[in-house]
Structure formats: structure tokens, C-alpha cells
Amino acid sequence: MVKIIASSVRKGNVLDVDGKLYVVLTAQNFHPGKGTPVTQVDMRRISDGVKVSERYRTTEQVERAFVEDREHNFLYEDGDGYHFMNPETYDQLTMSVEDIGDLKAYLQEGMTVVLSVHEGVAIAIDLPRHVTLEIVETEPVVKGQTASSSYKPAILSNGIRTLVPPHITAGTRVVIATEDGSYVERAKD
């Protein structure tokens, strides 16, 4: 275990709190005008999925668990969960639907992701920053509407709703940010 100061905790880190492993969902530093600066950390317990919120003084020490981050390819999903393969050793790991959460909508067959592995168990996933998806449904183009005006709603091939510029039509492939599901640009392929 490695001790780090609370203000350096980041999303995706794995912390050991009282002998239990937690994956950090969000970490924010607060510097009030008066008083001690604190770090607010929202975490999910890996063993049972319980969400916990903790506040630490920014100079307090927390234990960071040793986790190996390694590239894996997404293979398929079934009743057991999501299956990934290490391209170097061909070892396979499975993650549950709860561990992947909302990111499951962006997983595509063959996609390379980074899995955080602790003692042979995948505990966290990091997707590529952008994915290319197709627009399935959107409103028609209105003549005279400028490109700089408001965005219109669209439904992507993975079922997620997003906002796209007015010139984008159904059937267009677009690049989407996996962090928040927002439109980045029209795909270049």
C-alpha cells in the first residue's frame, strides 16, 4: 500500500479504507475562505457496490491500493457480465454490469480499454476518450438555420440521446465523448 495525500486523489483511483477497497467516482478539493481546505471523495466499495462519501483534510494521508492498469480488448457480453481479453497473454477477465455502469453503452466489440486489476480481479474500466457512433434518428434540417445556432436532439446507434448541430442527419457517423455523451465532430471515415 502507498500512502498519498487526500488532495492528490483522482477519479478511478483505488483506495484501501479500513481494509476494504473502494474505487473513486469523484474527488473535489474545497478551499473555503476560512477554515481548513478539504477533499470530498465519493467512492464505491468494490466488494458490494455500496456508495460512500468521505471528507478528508487535504493534507491527510489515505492508502492507495496497488492496482495494475493494463490494456484489454472487449470480447462480448453475456449473462455473467462483460468479457475482456489481455492481447499479450490471452487471459480473460469478466466485469459485472454494476462495475461498468453507464459506460456499457459505449462498449464496442474489439474495443481496446484499460482495466484496473487488483489481485487478478478487474475492478475499474477506462474507455477511450472518444467513440464513433451512427445517428439513428434526428429532426430534419430546417432551411435557413445557421450552423452556429442551437443544437438539436438525436438518438445514437447505442440508444443514447445527445445533441448535434443542425446539419447532421440520420445515418451520419459522429464522434462522441465517452465521458459525458456529448457530440465532438463528424466522423472522418
Convert the pLDDT of each residue in 50-97 to its tens digit. 899 999 998 899 998 888 888 999 999 998 889 999 999 999 999 888
Distance in angstroms (rounded) separating the CA atoms of residues 133 and 175: 6
Residue 143 banded pLDDT, cuts 50, 70, 90: low
For position 147, what pLDDT does the model report? Answer: 54
Tell me the three cell numbers of residue 179. 465521458
Distance in angstroms (rounded) separating the CA atoms of residues 161 and 183: 10
